[in-house]
Each structure stands twice: as C-alpha cells, then as structure tokens.
Amino acid sequence: MAARRGGSGPRAAQTGGAEIARRVLALPEVATAVWVAAFVGLPNEPDTRQLLAALRAHGTRVLLPAVREDLDLDFREFTGALVPGALGTREPPPAAPAVDLAAADVVLVPAVAVDRRGHRLGRGGGSYDRALRRVHPQAPLVAVVDDLAIVDGVPVDAHDLSVSVIVTPTQVVRRGPV
C-alpha cells in the first residue's frame, strides 16, 4: 500500500491539500464544530497544513495529537506552532494546552487504507485505536486519505472503530452498510 502511495510528489500534495481542505470544510459536521481533532500529515499522508489553517481561520478550535513515550496519544490545542514529535510527527509544543479528546465535535484521522464500510487500517501501532476510545460517542470519525488509500476491504478486529466519512482530494464518501 505504501508503495502505491509514495509517488505523488510535492506539487500533488499541495493540490491535494487544498482540495482536502475544501472538502473537509464543506462537511456539515465540520461547519458546525467548535472543536475538531485533526492531524499533521506525514510525508506519505495527505498534506493537512492548508486544512489546519482554514479551520483556524474559520474560528474552529483545533486539537492535534502528541505522541507520548508509551506511543499513546495526548491531544493539545493547536495555535499555529509545531515542534518535532516522536515517530517523525509534528505536534503542538508541550506548553500548548492539553484538551480531552472527548471535547472534539469531529475527529479527523489518518489511515494507510480504508474501505467504503468505514473500516480503517492504521500504521500498526494502535495509537489511534486507543485514542479513539476517548472520543465522544456522537462525534463523527472522518478518515482523511489519498485516493489510492480507498480499498475493497481491510482487516477488522473487534476493538476497531469505523469512520463515518472518508475525504480524499477528489471525493467525499459516506459509509455504506457495515
């Protein structure tokens, strides 16, 4: 899967980032949200920088993950500054206010792969699987991925939570039957 996604290049990432920002901001769930938990895309993930800026410009408060030593995720308010984090991530500085993930009205998540039933495959560390247990039950989970990340099926474990929406640079997919 990573090999299929590796050749997009910086120009495609910039274009994709703008389209993802436009599509995410158009979601009714996001348009009315006070808090949105998001992520800073890694090199092999969609570029979310324009999305983060657009959310803040819209007046939406943004939470970003910070990787702990045990590889679990804490969430901090994003106010514009990012520092290097564990595993190659970029995250708010340690002094940024910590906020319970349950405060998020919408949670945007990365995925290596996702199917149209909303099953997502992460990077294998379980960090997001553990963090998503703390999400408010009414908060929609939205996978933000490249087009090639949508696949016919992914392995599912009993503890996995499904996303209700998938956003790519070219489409928005609402979850089909589970």
Find residue 165's DSSP bridge partners.
142, 174
pLDDT one digit per residue (tens) for the chain, 178 residues: 444 444 444 444 445 899 999 999 999 999 999 999 999 999 889 999 999 999 999 999 999 999 998 889 999 999 999 999 988 889 999 999 999 999 999 999 999 999 999 999 988 778 898 999 999 999 999 999 999 999 999 998 887 889 999 999 999 999 866 5
Predicted TM-score (pTM) of the model is 0.90
Amino acid (1-letter code) at residue 151: V
Q: Where does 2-102+117-139 sit in CATH, by number?
A: 3.40.50.10420
Question: How far apart (Å, rounded) are the C-alpha atoms in residues 178 and 173?
Answer: 14
Domain boundaries, the chain: 2-102+117-139
Question: How far apart (Å, rounded) are the C-alpha atoms in residues 114 and 145?
Answer: 8
Say how many C-beta atoms besides its own lie within 10 A of residue 153's C-beta: 11
Contact 117, 84 (CB under 8 A): no
Question: How far apart (Å, rounded) are the C-alpha atoms in residues 78 and 37?
Answer: 10
Q: What is the pLDDT of residue 83?
A: 96
Contact 139, 123 (CB under 8 A): no
What token pair was written down for 52? 């983060």
- Containing H/E element for 141? strand 141-144
